[in-house]
Structure 1
Amino acid sequence: MNIRIIFLLSAFAAFLLPFAYGENNPAPAAAQVTAAPRRGALYRVRHQGHTAYLFGTIHVGLPAFYPLDDQVTQALSHATNLVLELDVRQSEPFQAALRKHGRYAEGDSLERHLSPDGLAHLRRTLQQLGMPFEQVTTLKPWLVTNLLMGLDLERQGYQRQHGIEFFLLAQARTKEVQELESAEYQMSLFDGMSDADQEQYLRENLADWEEGELQRKAHALIDAWASADSDAQEQLLRASLAEKTLSADFTHRVLLDKRNPEMADKIGALLKTDETSFVAIGLLHLLGENGVPALLRRSGYEVEKLY
């Protein structure tokens, strides 16, 4: 299975839609008085009297996803701080990182970095989406790719303002908010790809979009998250490991296998200093034998899966 649509639902993707449309940060999603089924995945990690709750998120959503279930709500209420991959309210660091890692320098442009076939493929897709080529001509291929995937999710009804981070921030207004990463760091990971790899990343995703695979896979992950179906979540991850594409390799090697140990180390540090933390990170970071909970367990922390 191709995993790249799944990783569009990462923390920095929350910024891409307003980047495309020139919007300000929207208001957080408001809780509704409805039943609250379990969503995502929830772990409790303990160490020497300190606790960290790990909650798996997606970063776009629907109003129907709220409120979150009682276990999540109570864990957040007991926490002294909320920890996110990125604080999605802070747009300036993100815009600075985009200028550095996602845009070409003045006088340079996308046309100089794509092959004629790659450029023609992109122009066809943009025409189908009703987006002028001039809107992306200064952007690097990796950013164009993620932007187009974000726009496609928006058109399917999954919106940034209903992403989990905004809801959690609205529920934790009086708590300290910390970041596990920075926009600079996340952007630099994508910018580390060569021109050839960025073009391949673009073309693989455009092909999947044309075949309807991006939409199908997005729905599969969102459904697995929305129903807290741990078997389906793990199956999605296992299937993705079998795929042999540049995009899938980059996702696993860089976006997961590199970042998961870094996140686990930072969560371990929190467990030594903070009494109770609520840590919300992308769902895929919690899955598999190299997921953050498994890494913490192997490091000697007490890890309990609540659901």
Structure 2
Amino acid sequence: MNISLILIVTLFLLSCSPVLKTDPSSIDTKTKDSTAQEDITPSPAKGSLCEEGARQKLWRIDGDSSTVYMFGSIHFGIPAFYPFSDEINQAFEKSQYLVVEINSQKEGIGSEMAELMKAGYLSEGETLEQKLSPEVYNQLEETLSAMGVPIAPFLHFRPWMMAVTLSVLQIQSLGYSPEMGVESYFFRKSDDKEILELESAEYQMKLLSMLDGEDFLSYTILSGESAKQQMQALSTAWACGDSVSLASIVLKDYSEHIPGYEQIYEEMFKKRNHAMARRISELAQNKGVYFVVVGAGHFLGEDSIISILAENGWVVKSL
């Protein structure tokens, strides 16, 4: 299976989700219909993704005067993700703080993202066609056309920004949306809670800009046919708490397919996990009850937040 930005968008980088919304050249496309409503309340699933009793993973560490719950997110969701188990909802209700990668609800976030996204635009006089090989540009135009999306609004995007945008369009075309994502679900229920951030939108955008845009764009185009399969596999493994299957998808060595994959893993996964684990450890040394929601990929493997916390002496309980 060719790997695209789908894994990065859905499991690692929350700031990708508002890309199309904050794009000043937003367009009316077939894929936009699924996210047109700003306030979507998830309804009970018509059909469960899992067998009865299976559910998403929840972890907990306890300090002298604190409890920190940790929950892995998929940033783009569907109604079948909901409702969550009573245990997960009760843990959230007990919490005084919601802790996320980025607080997409804070005042001024729209203008902040719009400003940051300027880094994704080419200099005046440059076009995307000039930055791509004829083969990749033609493939992109054909891929967008098949989705009912014109290429014109994206002609001044840098290749990495186009790759991210295409992956978002692919995900949305399958019926997934950030409004139905896990963070959005908890944001809507957090009126009485203080929201804390582990990262910043600026930091996440810098991570995206380090990608080799044309290579990632090419792989995202090629993997379009398997996007549905990828999302179904990810969604089922996550919803059913199947960490083994989820890890086999996320932690697969993609170095043969993606130039510079080792650096991407180091920057987007390993370094971020250590930084987030340090911050979670600091929270656990304070007073209060915290509910941490970050991309599910950060809780997988030897370099996961869970493993790092355990290595630093915390007793991590799987609930």
TM-score (norm 2): 0.85
Could you tell me which residue of structure 2 aligns to residue 182 of structure 1? 200
Which letter maps to 1:141?
P
In the alignment, structure 2 segments of 5+ residues that lack a partner are 29-34
Give matches, 1:189-268, under 5 Å.
189-193=207-211, 197-209=212-224, 212-238=225-251, 240-241=252-253, 243-246=255-258, 248-249=261-262, 251-268=264-281
Question: Structure 1 residue 279 and structure 2 residue 273: aligned?
Answer: no
The aligned counterpart of 1:29 is: 41
Deviates more, 1:121-130 or 1:77-86: 121-130
Whole-angstrom distance in 2 between the partners of 1:120 and 1:3: 18
What letter is aligned with 2:253?
Answer: L
CA gap of 1:266–1:28, structure 2 versus 1, over 3 A, is farther
Distance apart, 1:243 and its partner CA: 4.8
- Give 1:165 shift: 0.9
Match in the other structure for 1:14: 17
Distance in 1 (alpha carbons) for counterparts of 2:240 and 2:4: 19
2:104 is equivalent to residue 88 of structure 1: yes
The one of 68, 77, 99 aligned to 2:84: 68
Structure 1 residue matching 2:313: 3-state secondary structure = coil
- Partners of 1:126 and 1:77 lie apart in 2 by 43
Q: More deviation in 275-284 or 149-158?
A: 149-158
1:152, CA displacement in angstroms? 1.5
- Two-structure CA RMSD over aligned residues (Å): 2.4
- Could you tell me which of 290, 295, 298 is aligned with 2:311? 298
**1:92 partner amino acid:** S
Whole-angstrom CA distance in 2 between matches of 1:4 and 1:287: 18
- Alpha-carbon deviation of 1:48? 2.8
CA spacing shift, 1:280–1:37, aligned 2, 3 Å: farther
Shift in Å, 1:28: 4.3
1:304 partner amino acid: K
Identity %: 28
What is the alpha-carbon distance in structure 2 between the residues aligned to residue 33 and residue 61 of structure 1? 12
TM-score after normalising by structure 1: 0.88
Which residue number corresponds to residue 116 of structure 1?
134
Post-superposition CA distance 1:179-220 (Å, at most 9, x none): 111111100112124xxx2111111111111xx222211211
1:288 is paired with a residue whose SS is: coil
